[in-house]
C-alpha cells in the first residue's frame, strides 16, 4: 500500500536549540528594522510616500547640476552648501520620520516587550539613533555622491572638487548626528506622532526665525561677532561653520563664521544634552 | 526542580512598599500567583526580569541572579504584560517575527518560529491582517505568542485572561495549561481570580500587600475553601434550616444557598435533604473559591 501524500501532521510544540544572537544581534536587527521604517520599507504604501517624496526633492538639485555641468560646462553646485540650501527638505524629513521611529512604541507601550528581552534601554535608544543618523546620511550623501560621480564622468575644464566633496560628506555626518539627536529627543517626549512632527518642525522654525532676527539685530548694532553667533542658532548654519573651520571651505551665508573650536564644541554640547534628555525620558518609561 | 526562588525580597518605592520580605519558591509546571490589584505581582515580575533592583533580599531565576545576570535571564524567559502592548498597524506575523528577532533569533528561524507559535496559540489566517482589527481574545493570543516565540524555559503571564469573555477565558486557560504540560515550559501566571487558577495550576502562591499569605499545592488550597452553591425553586429557608440542624454552615446569598464543605459527607447530607424535603433542584454547583476566602 502506498503512503498517503500531502497529509499535514500536527507535530506538536517544537523546542529551539539553534543559535541565539543575543544582545548584539538583536540591536543590529532593531537598527535595520528602524532604518527600513524611516523610509517606510516593509510598511504600508502610505508610509513610503513622504520619505520618498522628500528623497526625490533632495536629488533634484544634483540632477539639475549634472545637467548644467554636461550642457554648459559650468562648475557643479557647491558640495559644502548643499545641506544649507536644502535645509527645509532635511528638516521636514527629520520632523516627519523621527516620530515614526519612537512614537508607536511609546504610544502602544511596546517598550516593556523589548526590555523583557536581551535588549537594554541603551541598545534600544542606540539602534533608533543610529537608524535616524543613517537615514539622514542617505538623504544627504546620495545626492552629493551622485553629483560627484557626474562631475567625474563629465569632462570639465577645471580640477575635480574632491576636497569640497569630502568636506560635504563630513558635514553631512555632523549634520546627521546633530539633527538625529535633537529630532529623536523632541519626538520622544510625546507618544503622539502628530505632536512629535509638530514639535520638531516648530523647533526648526524657531531656530530659523530666531537666528535671522538675532543676526539682523546684532548687525545693525555693529556687533559683527555676536551676529555671527546669532546665526549659529540654526543647526544647519552651525554645522556649516564647523565645516568652514575644519576644511577651510567658504561659508554658505557669505558672512564670516565664529572661528576656532567654538561651533564644534556647541555641536558636541547640544548632542550630549539631547542624548542625556533622551536617556532620562526612557528611564522614566521603564519605571512606569 | 526550582525554577525561581526569592529570599526575603523587599521592594520599597518612595511612597509604598510593594514587596515586604517575600520568600517563595516555584517549581516546574504551572504556578499561580494570586493577589488583589496592587499586591505586588507586577513588581515581583519586574524584579525577576532584572528590570528593577530589589531594595533588600535576593532572588534567583533558573539559578541566575536578576540583579547581575538579568541579561541571561531575559534570554530564556518570556513575558506577557497585563496591559495592551501591540502596535495596531502591524500584522501579528510581522510583529511576532520582529519580537523573535529582538530575542536574538536569526531571521529565518524567527519567521519559522513565529508561524509555528501563532498556530499553537490558535491564530489562523487573520494573522496576516493588522492587529488593530483584532478582538480582545485574538490580541491576548498575540501577546502570548510574542512571549513564547523564542522558546523560553520560563514564561511570566500577567493576567492573561484580562478582558476576555467566559469562552475566551476557558480557551486561554487551556492554552496556559498546555504550555506548562505539553510544551514543557514552566509558567508563572498572575491573576486576581483564584478560581481561575485552581483549574490549571499545580501550585498556588497567594500574596497580599507584598507579603506571602500562603504557598501550597493546589489540592490543599481548594479543599480548605470549598463551597457549594445550591439553588432550588422554592423552599430555600426549609433547606437552610434542615442543613443547619445537621451541623452544616450555610448562608443565603440572594436566590442561592451556599454551603461550606466540611467533609465528603456534606454532599450526601445536602442530597438527602433536598430529596426528603421534596424540593425542585435548579442548580447545584461547586463555587470557585475566591481570593477573599483565602484571606479568612
Tens of pLDDT, residues A180-236: 999 999 999 999 999 999 999 999 999 999 998 988 888 888 888 888 888 889 999
Helix, strand, coil distribution of chain A in percent, nearest 5: 75, 0, 25
The predicted model gives B72-92 an average pLDDT of 92
Which chain A residue shows the shortest CA-CA distance from B145? A113
3-state secondary structure chain B: CEEEEEEEEEEECCCCEEEEEECCEEECCEEEEECCCCCCHHHHHHHHCCCCCCCEEEEEECCECHHHHHHHHHHCEEEECCCCCCCCCCEHHHHHHHHHHHCCCCHHHHHHHHHHHHHHCCCCHHHHCEHHHCCHHHHHHHHHHHHHCCCCCEEEEECCCCCCCHHHHHHHHHHHHHHHHCCCCEEEEEECCHHHHCCCCCEEEEEECCEEEEEEEHHHHHHHCCEEEEEECCCHHHHHHHHHHCCCCEEEECCEEEEECCCCHHHHHHHHHHHHCCCCEEEEEEECCCHHHHHC
CATH number of B227-295: 3.30.70.980
pLDDT digits (tens, 9 = 90+) for B115-127: 999 999 998 889 9
Residues near B126 by beta carbon (within 8 Å), at least 6 away in sequence: B92, B134, B138
CB A54 within 8 A of CB A139: yes
Q: What is the pLDDT of residue B194?
A: 78
Between the CA of residue B54 and those of B38, B59, B70, B158, B195, what are the distances in Å? 17, 9, 13, 19, 30
* Mean pLDDT for the stretch of residues A158-176: 92
Nearest CA in chain B to A21: B104
Q: Residue B138 pLDDT > 50, yes or no?
A: yes
Please classify residue A17 by burial: count the beta carbons closer than 10 Å to its beta carbon, then call 0-12 exposed, 13-18 middle and 19+ buried. exposed
0.90 surpassed by pTM: no
To probe the interface with A, which of B64, B98, B101, B102 has the most A CB atoms within 10 Å? B102
C-alpha distance from A138 to closest chain B C-alpha (Å): 24
The predicted model gives A137-154 an average pLDDT of 93
In the predicted model, what is the mean pLDDT of chain B?
A: 88
Mean pLDDT in residue range B266-280: 87
- For residue B224, the model assigns a pLDDT of 57
Domain boundaries, chain A: 22-287
- CA–CA gap between residue A81 and residue A93 (Å, rounded): 18
CA-closest candidate to residue A117, choices B101, B294, B3: B101
Q: Where are the domains of chain B?
A: 2-222, 227-295
Q: Is the Cβ pair B79, A116 closer than 8 Å? A: yes
What is the interface pTM, i.e. ipTM, of the complex? 0.86
- Which pLDDT tens digit goes with each residue over A83-110? 999 999 999 999 999 999 999 999 999 9
B289 pLDDT above the threshold of 60: no
A chain contacts of residue B77, beta-carbon cutoff 8 Å? 116
In chain A, whose CA is at the least distance from the CA of B100?
Answer: A26
Cell 564644534, located at residue? A264
pLDDT at A287: 63
CATH number of B2-222: 3.40.50.300
pLDDT at residue B225 above 70? no
Whether chain A has a CB inside 8 Å of the CB on B112: the answer is no
The residue-averaged pLDDT of B221-248 equals: 80
| Pairwise CA distance, residues B66 & B48, whole Å | 6
By DSSP bridging, strand B30-34 and strand B203-208 are parallel
Q: How confident is the model at residue A54 (pLDDT cuts 50, 70, 90)?
A: very high
Phi, psi of B22 (to 5 degrees): -85, 125
- pLDDT by residue (tens digit) across A227-286? 888 888 999 999 999 998 998 888 887 777 787 788 999 999 999 999 999 999 998 877
Which run of H or of E encompasses A141? Answer: helix A121-153
pLDDT value at position B296?
Answer: 47
Mean pLDDT in residue range B283-294:
65
- High-pLDDT (> 90) share of chain A, %: 61
Which one has a higher pLDDT value, A44 or A147? A147
Relative orientation angle of helices B92-102 and B107-120, to the nearest 10 degrees: 130
pLDDT in the model for residue A7: 62
Amino acid at each position: 500500500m502506498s503512503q498517503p501524500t500531502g497529509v499535514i501532521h500536527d507535530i506538536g510544540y517544537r523546542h529551539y536549540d539553534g543559535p541565539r544572537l543575543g544582545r548584539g544581534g538583536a540591536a543590529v536587527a532593531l537598527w535595520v528594522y528602524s532604518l527600513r521604517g524611516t523610509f517606510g520599507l516593509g510598511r504600508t504604501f502610505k508610509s513610503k510616500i513622504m520619505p520618498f517624496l522628500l528623497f526625490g526633492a533632495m536629488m533634484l538639485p544634483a540632477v539639475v547640476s549634472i545637467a548644467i555641468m554636461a550642457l554648459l560646462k559650468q562648475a557643479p553646485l557647491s558640495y559644502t552648501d548643499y545641506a544649507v540650501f536644502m535645509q527645509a527638505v532635511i528638516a521636514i524629513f527629520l520632523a516627519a520620520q523621527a516620530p515614526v521611529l519612537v512614537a508607536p512604541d511609546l504610544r502602544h507601550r511596546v517598550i516593556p516587550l523589548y526590555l523583557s528581552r536581551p535588549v537594554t534601554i541603551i541598545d534600544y535608544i542606540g539602534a533608533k539613533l543610529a537608524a535616524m543618523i543613517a537615514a539622514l546620511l542617505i538623504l544627504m550623501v546620495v545626492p552629493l555622491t551622485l553629483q560627484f560621480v557626474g562631475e567625474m564622468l563629465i569632462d570639465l575644464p577645471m580640477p575635480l572638487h574632491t576636497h569640497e566633496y569630502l568636506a560635504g560628506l563630513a558635514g553631512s555626518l555632523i549634520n546627521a548626528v546633530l539633527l538625529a539627536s535633537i529630532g529623536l529627543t523632541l519626538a520622544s517626549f510625546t507618544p503622539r506622532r502628530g505632536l512629535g512632527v509638530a514639535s520638531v518642525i516648530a523647533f526648526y522654525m524657531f531656530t530659523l526665525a530666531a537666528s535671522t532676527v538675532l543676526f539682523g539685530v546684532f548687525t545693525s548694532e555693529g556687533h559683527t561677532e555676536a551676529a555671527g553667533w546669532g546665526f549659529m542658532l540654526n543647526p544647519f548654519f552651525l554645522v556649516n561653520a564647523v565645516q568652514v573651520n575644519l576644511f577651510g571651505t567658504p561659508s554658505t551665508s557669505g558672512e564670516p563664521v565664529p572661528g576656532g573650536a567654538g561651533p564644534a564644541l556647541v555641536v558636541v554640547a547640544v548632542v550630549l544634552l539631547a542624548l542625556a534628555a533622551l536617556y532620562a525620558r526612557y528611564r522614566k518609561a521603564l519605571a512606569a | 526542580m526550582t525554577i525561581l526562588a526569592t529570599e526575603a525580597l523587599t521592594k520599597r518605592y518612595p511612597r509604598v512598599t510593594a514587596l515586604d520580605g517575600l520568600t517563595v519558591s516555584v517549581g516546574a509546571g504551572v504556578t499561580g500567583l494570586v493577589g488583589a490589584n496592587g499586591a505586588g505581582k507586577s513588581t515581583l515580575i519586574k524584579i525577576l526580569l532584572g528590570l528593577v533592583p530589589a531594595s533588600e533580599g535576593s532572588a534567583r531565576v533558573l539559578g541566575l541572579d536578576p540583579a547581575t545576570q538579568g541579561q541571561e535571564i531575559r534570554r530564556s524567559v518570556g513575558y506577557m504584560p497585563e496591559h495592551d502592548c501591540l502596535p495596531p498597524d502591524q500584522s501579528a506575523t510581522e510583529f511576532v517575527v520582529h519580537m523573535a528577532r529582538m530575542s536574538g533569533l536569526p531571521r529565518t528561524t524567527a519567521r519559522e518560529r513565529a508561524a509555528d507559535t501563532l498556530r499553537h496559540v490558535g491564530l489562523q489566517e487573520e494573522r496576516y491582517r493588522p492587529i488593530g482589527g483584532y478582538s480582545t481574545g485574538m490580541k491576548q493570543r498575540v501577546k502570548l505568542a510574542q512571549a513564547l516565540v523564542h522558546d523560553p524555559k520560563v514564561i511570566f503571564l500577567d493576567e492573561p485572561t484580562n478582558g476576555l469573555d467566559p469562552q475566551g477565558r476557558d480557551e486561554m486557560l487551556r492554552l496556559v495549561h498546555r504550555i506548562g504540560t505539553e510544551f514543557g515550559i514552566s509558567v508563572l501566571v498572575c491573576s486576581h481570580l483564584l478560581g481561575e487558577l485552581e483549574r490549571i495550576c499545580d501550585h498556588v502562591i497567594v500574596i497580599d500587600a507584598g507579603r506571602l499569605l500562603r504557598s501550597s499545592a493546589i489540592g490543599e488550597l481548594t479543599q480548605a475553601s470549598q463551597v457549594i452553591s445550591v439553588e432550588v425553586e422554592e423552599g430555600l429557608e426549609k433547606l437552610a434550616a434542615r442543613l443547619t440542624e445537621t451541623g452544616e454552615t450555610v448562608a443565603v446569598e440572594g436566590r442561592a444557598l451556599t454551603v461550606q464543605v466540611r467533609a465528603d459527607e456534606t454532599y450526601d447530607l445536602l442530597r438527602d435533604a433536598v430529596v426528603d424535603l421534596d424540593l425542585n433542584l435548579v442548580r447545584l454547583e461547586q463555587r470557585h473559591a475566591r481570593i477573599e476566602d483565602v484571606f479568612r
